[in-house]
Amino acid sequence: MEILKIEFLKLRKKTRIWLGPILVFWLIMIAYPLTVELLQDRLQIGFFSVLWIAILISMMLATEDIFTEDYNDGSLEQTIIQESSFQVGIGLKVFVYWFLIGIPVSLLSFIFSFGTTQNFELSLPIFPLSLISSYIFLNIFVLGNSLSLNKGSVLGALVTMPIALPVLIVLGKGMTALQFDINFESFILLLLGSLSIIIVLIPIVVSYIIKAHLE
Amino acid sequence: MTDNSLIIANNISYKINENKLFHNLSFDIKGGRALHIKGKNGSGKSTLLRIILGITDPTKGSINSAASLQICYLGHKNALKNYLTMRDNIHLLQLNNHIKLNKYLDLIGLKKHLDVTVSSLSFGQQKKLALLRVFLNSSNLLILDEPFVGLDDDTHEQLTQFLSNELIEGKGLIFTSHIPCQIKSDLLELNN
Amino acid sequence: MIKKFIHQFASPKTFLLQVERSYSFIFFTSLCIYVFSIVWGLLFTPEDFVQGNSYRIMYLHVPASFLSQSLYIAMAVSSVTYLIWRVKLAAYLVIAIAPIGAMTTFIALISGSIWGIPTWGTWWQWDARITSTLILFIMYLGLISLHNSFSNYEKADKLLSWLVIVGAVNIPIIKKSVDWWSTLHQSASITLTEKPSIDPVMLYPLIGAIIGFFGLIVCLILMSSKNQIFIREKNKSWVKDYV
């Protein structure tokens, strides 16, 4: 619990880190209708694709410097020496980021969906879908950022993008299922299943990667 | 492993990209003893400390540490968040012993700066703040990389005094320093 | 025990000597097999009933596609070997294979595109296999750029190995997810378990082409790992003697 408090304390003073990605998400969602002629039915065609891509990009930005500061000021070394399980610390850190960025973004997704489709039943499932997918994306990009620690976040995003693409495919498929009302729950379950594996595996792998960086 | 050895190094060697830093080093650290690692710049002092800490793996050889080992480490990087106030940083360091904390804050003269952000402190003041980690440690082995750099004479004296007391209490100490100091210690000199 | 065996067997020096000894044999044998199969396939097999002559590009396309994934698996195996047993040679192999894997994947994509024009009427389709091959190609590029961005070789090796392993876990997932898209690509004609759905007249030269191509790629990998050994062990006395 102490780790959670510490992470919150740090992020409270660094608004840019969590507000930035939320604003970028907002910006993309507002920019989208401006680039399409403002006819309601046309808007809806590409809306969900833009939504998922906006989530992907905001999560990519959210993880931009997730370890850089701790690496540069020596906090990571201290954490490793103390041996208070490093993996759990990483997992909690990702959780804090999701709590501060993923949840607001998911709420916004729901609001924008409802605003665009005017269809409550279609928009409501967008909330859990966004919650789960933003958490998955965060984990994936955290992996990328740990790999390219200190080398800029573009490289990290590039190397882990192939891992994020299948999630986009599943999300696209899921939306079709939702719109035609066929077997939508199975997509939620599939994403939840992947998330539960990722939540455990990524912090373990990331802890090894960070140790390799510190050597 | 003998009774009060904290760390034993067996024939450790280290190479980086095929450059040998040191070869077949063996030593052991007992409670109540200090080891002063000396050497030129780039001779591998910090690397040796990192190997002892277990952050870096030696190319050859091994480090055995006692089961009860608890390390307090202060390196070149001070692990301070310079956008936070001193108070928040102390909170981050999880220094919860308030009586001791107040005593040392008074001693090193930082008490009036508690609500100042670390970035506006001087280098020496930041170093002192980082040293709180050492002063309030609950470990049995202290590993310090150039602890005396940037300290004024008073604080230098206080730190020396503190470390000598810790040795008397039976803790181990490993440090590097090119600034002469009065701590009674064994010497390990690194030269390729 | 295993560790000792691997370390002895996989010393870069032993490896290099073995490569020297067998390289020309592998190279000429596979070159002969490949040329022979290609000539056979191009000149002495009949036209396809549906596709006409255009199907003959499969003598390049099929081996390349086959290898694009196999090479990734080879990298993953090497990565695991490196991380568990700290075998340096395995790390050299990983980075030696990466550019060659990228190349074969690229060949598979391009030759597939060319084949697509006469048969499907389009050179690109967001279809399951094509998409997963494209993602694989991006993965190879990511691996190469990751390794290139570090000057400390050992660190680069470790990070690369971890990424390769995570990527390997991801490959079946990519396949699964893109399989859900309706697909234009024909399913595999040759599998280990079922009777081939391709006419034997075309099958034999195809198998020959796969074997020959495989051998040639192995030669490329041997050369490229030899390069890696020279770069990485240039300060060792045996390399100086050797050169």
Give the pLDDT confidence of C14-29 residue by residue, as tens digits: 888 888 888 999 999 9
Mutate to test the interface with A, among C82, C139, C171 (most CBs of A within 10 A): C139
- H or E segment at C77? helix C58-85
**Mean local confidence (pLDDT), C76-85:** 94
Is residue C138 a contact partner of residue C151, using CB atoms and an 8 Å limit? no
Closest residue in A to C128 (Cα–Cα)? A169
Mutate to test the interface with A, among B46, B47, B55, B72 (most CBs of A within 10 A): B55
Closest residue in C to A214 (Cα–Cα)? C155
Q: What Cα–Cα distance (Å) separates residue B176 from each residue in A74, B34, B69, C65, C195? A: 18, 11, 20, 57, 71
Pairing verdict, β B34-39 and B172-176? parallel
Work out the angle at residue A110's Cα, subtended by the Cα atoms of residues A105 and A114, and round it to the nearest 5 degrees: 145
pLDDT > 90? residue B175: yes
Of A51-60, C72-81, C224-233, the least confident: C224-233
If one compares C192 and A50, the residue with the highest pLDDT of the two is A50
What pLDDT, on a 0 to 100 scale, did the predictor assign at position C161? 96
pLDDT > 70? residue A122: yes
Compute φ and ψ for A106, nearest 5 degrees: -65, -40
Give the pLDDT confidence of C107-160 residue by residue, as tens digits: 999 999 998 888 888 888 887 788 889 999 999 999 999 999 888 888 899 999
> Is C166 in contact with A209 (Cβ distance < 8 A)?
no
What pLDDT, on a 0 to 100 scale, did the predictor assign at position C184? 56
Closest residue in A to C172 (Cα–Cα)? A166
Contacts of B71 (CB under 8 A, 6+ apart): A81, B53, B139, B141, B142, B143
> Is C153 in contact with B17 (Cβ distance < 8 A)?
yes
> Is A10 in contact with B71 (Cβ distance < 8 A)?
no
Where do we find the tokens 């949840």? A103
Q: What Cα–Cα distance (Å) separates residue B177 from each residue in B182, C85, C149? A: 11, 37, 34
Q: Which two tokens stand for residue B82?
A: 């310079």
The whole-angstrom distance between residue C215's C-alpha and the CA centroid of its chain comes to 11
What pLDDT, on a 0 to 100 scale, did the predictor assign at position B28? 87
Q: ipTM of the predicted structure?
A: 0.89
Terminal C-alpha separation, chain B: 29
Gap between the Cα atoms of A83 and A86, Å rounded:
7
If one compares B17 and C11, the residue with the highest pLDDT of the two is C11
Compute φ and ψ for B187, nearest 5 degrees: -115, 135
Question: What are the sequence ranges of the domains in chain C?
Answer: 21-48+55-185+199-242
If one compares C178 and B60, the residue with the highest pLDDT of the two is B60
pLDDT > 50? residue B1: no
Of A38-47, A62-71, C30-39, C103-112, the least confident: A38-47
Gap between the Cα atoms of A210 and B34, Å rounded:
31
Most confident listed range (A149-163, C96-110, C122-136): C96-110
What pLDDT, on a 0 to 100 scale, did the predictor assign at position A56? 96
CB crowding B158-187: b at 16 or more within 10 Å, else e: bbbebbbebbeeebbbbbbbeeebebebee
pLDDT > 70? residue C191: no
Domains parsed from chain B with CATH numbers: 5-70+139-183 (3.40.50.300)
